[in-house]
Amino acid sequence: MRAVFQNRYEFVKTYLPAIRVLWQEMAFHDDIKAQFQTIFINHVYEKFKQIVEHFQQKGELAPLPPETIIRLTITTIAGFLLTRFLVMPDYPWDDEREIERTIQFLMNGLKRP
With bands split at pLDDT 50, 70 and 90, how would you rate the model's confidence at 113? low
Residue 81: which residues within 8 A CB-CB, separation 6 or more? Answer: 8, 9, 12
In angstroms, rounded to a whole number, what is the distance separating the alpha carbons of residues 109 and 69?
A: 12
pTM of the model: 0.82
pLDDT 10s digits, 10-40:
999 999 999 999 988 988 999 999 999 999 9
Q: How confident is the model at residue 56 (pLDDT cuts 50, 70, 90)?
A: very high
What is the identity of the amino acid at 53?
E
Residue ranges of the domains in the chain? Answer: 2-108
